[in-house]
Amino acid sequence: MLKFIVMADLHIVAEGKLSHSLDTNDRFEQAIEFVNSNHGDADFVVIAGDLADHGERAAYERFKSTLEKLKIKSFLTLGNHDHRPTFLEVFGAEQADDTGNVNHVIDANGHRIIVLDSSDSEAGGAGHLEPSQLEWLQSKLDEAKDIPVIIILHHNITKFHVQTDFIILQDNLAFAEIVSSHPDIRQVISGHVHMTTSGTYKSIPFCTFAGCHYSIEPTLETSSGPIPALVARREGPGQIAVILADENSTVVHMENFIDRNLVMASELFGWVSDKSA
């Protein structure tokens, strides 16, 4: 049995600051305590981006310090709120691979887990995979044709018919073509949208989970007009994904470490039309 945890959307800020009224470092500490207490047997933890809220050095240093409380080995990658050069300054250049991105391959208990860095500071919040990363992804899939593969990246790989559809993974078609070349893709797991979903894209199974920051209660597209501009944001749940996998099955449990779900005042958000998850 393979067991691992995915966290995402920490949105850590500098000491003494809050993110939209939320103490995100405290929420991350609660997530760590939850994992240490309930899932100490996990093989590893992946933290799938939006580590820092504004990508600043003080936030990464604070994140690094808090992360030391996690008793399980962790692998990090980045999201649209992150700043890769600053992250690498704090965590070390060796966090980036030959493509210059914070990608990882983890081989554990008969599975290959591929962690992809979909952050791109030029993409306005959307995700991007560079040609070198797509080549890298193809080679890592080709090496593991005979074992199940699980892929983790920050950005969701298809539209969800919600307001944030313009900041999905832009290269989703190229991604799907490459991923479809592997005979046993078990799951693609993402954060980014701050909501819990599951589905398929081009027959590839995916899910997203709410993560550690505020949650978004989506307003869904209808056949009668455009998606309404406002979505409700809630203080919770604070949520992680727990993956249990064996040769026949891959199960993703969404577990809440914070159950509080009060609607947050819209004045806490500095933009009228929400453009960033």
Q: How far is the CB of 105 from Fe ion (least distance, A)?
A: 24
- Binding string to Fe ion for residues 218 to 247, with x set by CB under 5 A, is what? ------------------------------
Is 9 an interacting residue with respect to Fe ion (CB under 5 A)? Answer: yes
Q: What is the distance between the alpha carbons of residues 277 and 275, in angstroms, rounded to a whole number?
A: 7
In the complex, what is the shortest distance from the CB of residue 232 to Fe ion, in angstroms, rounded to a whole number?
16
Q: How far is the CB of 75 from Fe ion (least distance, A)?
A: 18
Residue with Cβ nearer Fe ion (157 or 245): 157
Which range of residues in 9-17, 114-122, 157-165, 172-180 is near Fe ion by CB under 5 A? Answer: 9-17
Q: Which of residues 16-75 bind Fe ion (CB under 5 A)?
A: 50
The residue among 19 and 101 lying less far from Fe ion, judged by its C-beta, is 19
Name the minimum Å distance from CB 64 to Fe ion. 19
| Closer of 50 and 235 to Fe ion (Cβ) | 50
Q: Is 139 left (phi over 0), alpha (psi -120 to 50) or beta?
A: alpha
Closer residue to Fe ion in complex, CB, 182/194? 194
Minimum CB separation of residue 268 from Fe ion in Å reads 15
Compute how many residues bind Fe ion; rule: CB under 5 A: 2
Nearer to Fe ion, 182 or 213 (CB): 213
Q: Residue 82 or residue 171: which is nearer to Fe ion going by CB?
A: 82
158 close to 123: Cβ distance less than 8 angstroms: no
Smallest separation, CB 183 to Fe ion (Å): 32
Q: Minimum distance from CB of 119 to Fe ion (Å)? A: 11
Piece in contact with Fe ion (CB under 5 A), picked from 5-13, 53-61, 91-99, 225-233: 5-13
Output the DSSP codes for the chain: -EEEEEE----B--TT--BTTB-HHHHHHHHHHHHHHH-TT-SEEEEES--BSS--HHHHHHHHHHHTT--S-EEEE--TT--HHHHHHHH-GGGS-TTSS--EEEEETTEEEEEE----TTTTT-B---HHHHHHHHHHHHTTTTS-EEEEESS-SS--SSGGGGGSBTTHHHHHHHHTTSS-EEEEEE-SSSS-EEEEETTEEEEE---SS-EEEPPPPBTTBSPPS--EEES--EEEEEEEE-SS-EEEEEEEEE---PBPPGGGSS-SS----
Binders of Fe ion in range 163-222 (CB under 5 A): none
* 125 vs 148 by CB, closer to Fe ion: 125
Give the footprint of Fe ion on this chain (CB under 5 A).
9, 50
